[in-house]
Amino acid sequence: MGRVTFLRHHKPSGPLPNHLQSMVSANEARLGCFFGNIFYFDEVTSTNDLALEWAANGATEGTVIVARAQTAGRGRQGRRWVSPADVGLYVSLILRPCRVVPLLTHTVGVALAESLRALTDLQIELKWPNDLVIKTTKQVVSEYRKVGGILTESAGRSGSCQYVVVGFGINLEASNLPIEVAKLATSVEAELGDKVDSARLMVESLAAIVSWHKILLEGQTDVILNRWRALSPTSKGAHVEWRGQSEWHGGMTVGIDDGGALLVRKENQIERVLAGEIRWIL
Question: Same domain for 212 and 259?
Answer: no
Question: Same domain for 36 and 138?
Answer: yes
Instruction: Tell me what percent of the residues of the chain surpass a pLDDT of 90.
Output: 68
Global pTM reads 0.92
Question: Same domain for 39 and 157?
Answer: yes
Question: Same domain for 142 and 276?
Answer: no
As beta bridge partners, residue 126 has 132
Residue-wise pLDDT tens digits, 4-56 = 556 555 789 889 999 999 999 999 999 999 999 999 999 999 999 999 999 99
Read off the CATH number of the domain in which 193 is found: 3.30.930.10
Question: Same domain for 267 and 146?
Answer: no
Distance CA 6, CA 138 (A): 46
Classify 109 as helix, strand or coil.
helix
How many domains are there within the chain?
2
> What are the DSSP calls for 11-39, one per residue?
--SBSPPHHHHHHHHHTHHHHGGGTT-EE
* Phi, psi angle pair for 109, to nearest 5°: -60, -45
Classify 138 as helix, strand or coil.
coil
Question: Same domain for 141 and 256?
Answer: no
Question: Same domain for 131 and 259?
Answer: no
Q: How many separate helices (H) and strands (E) can be counted in the chain?
A: 9, 12
The whole domain housing 200 covers 3-230
